[in-house]
Amino acid sequence: MYSRESEDRFARAHQQMIRRDLMGRGITDSVVLGVMDEVRREEFVLDEYQSQAYADGPLPIGMGQTISQPYIVALMTQELQLDPDCEVLEIGTGSGYQTAVLSKLAKKVYTIERIGQLAESAQAVLGRLGVDNVEFYIGDGSCGWPQQRCFDRIIITAAVPKIPLPLIEQLKDGGLLVGPVGYAGVQELVVCEKKNGKITERLICDVRFVKLLGKFSFEQ
């Protein structure tokens, strides 16, 4: 529960974020902009960072991890070209902010987080917000979803040295995968398309993400 005054402050900062940080940088998809407007980032930010909930950057969420910059969340979502029939696999639940955005645009989101405490907290926030089309799994997302299953879209929200093979295998033909590829420090945001079993890659921009630690990614 927030006071009237802080509600107003959040609302102003939220609108400024949409106009300046998203529209001002080329987020043009009106459906994505609508969802970025609908999902309130303050719900996913720790108490001590509430005043920076709409700041133009990532913020700590504990356990050495971060909630992504709103622009990057919007950009990756726009690149995924979601439709309401899509089943999406997300690797790196973190705070659940990106998960919430995806859940409004897809049929179902399957999300994997390595750190149990973060997964549980994200699940609690999404439950409180009434989001009911997300399945959570605690484990190593570099190995893909634990059951055999293929996805229309895959989003990796932590840096990988290369796209983990199990994720390429779990991407449907005709599907898209978005994620940061590179080494600690700076990575390239990559969109992969699978067509007739073959992967083509498109580079979007430089990004900075925490590392994905796992069997098919960086060593733990």
| Catalytic annotation, residues | 68
138: nearest Cα among 160, 119, 157? 119
Binder of ligand SAH out of 22, 32, 106, 115 (CB under 6 A): 115
Binder of ligand SAH out of 109, 118, 131, 167 (CB under 6 A): 118
CA 47 vs. chain centroid, Å, equals 21
H helix or E strand, kind and range, residue 122: helix 116-128
Binder of ligand SAH out of 66, 78, 121, 170 (CB under 6 A): 66
What is the rounded CA–CA span in Å between residue 32 and residue 2? 26
Binder of ligand SAH out of 14, 104, 114, 194 (CB under 6 A): 114
103: nearest Cα among 125, 72, 71, 118? 125
| DSSP conformation class of 151 | E
Q: How far is CA 216 from CA 63, 90, 155, in A?
A: 21, 16, 15
Least distance in angstroms from the C-beta of 170 to ligand SAH: 14
Which residues have C-beta within 8 Å of that of residue 45, sequence separation ≥ 6? 52, 53, 59, 61, 67, 95
- Pick 143 or 176: Cβ nearer ligand SAH: 143
Least distance in angstroms from the C-beta of 167 to ligand SAH: 11
Q: Which of residues 140-179 bind ligand SAH (CB under 6 A)?
A: 140-142, 157-158
H helix or E strand, kind and range, residue 173: strand 171-182
- Pick 118 or 168: Cβ nearer ligand SAH: 118
- Pick 66 or 123: Cβ nearer ligand SAH: 66
- Pick 67 or 176: Cβ nearer ligand SAH: 67
Binder of ligand SAH out of 27, 35, 36, 65 (CB under 6 A): 65
Instruction: Determine if 21 is a binding residue for ligand SAH (CB under 6 A).
Output: no
Q: Which of residues 68-107 bind ligand SAH (CB under 6 A)?
A: 68, 91-92, 94-95, 97-98
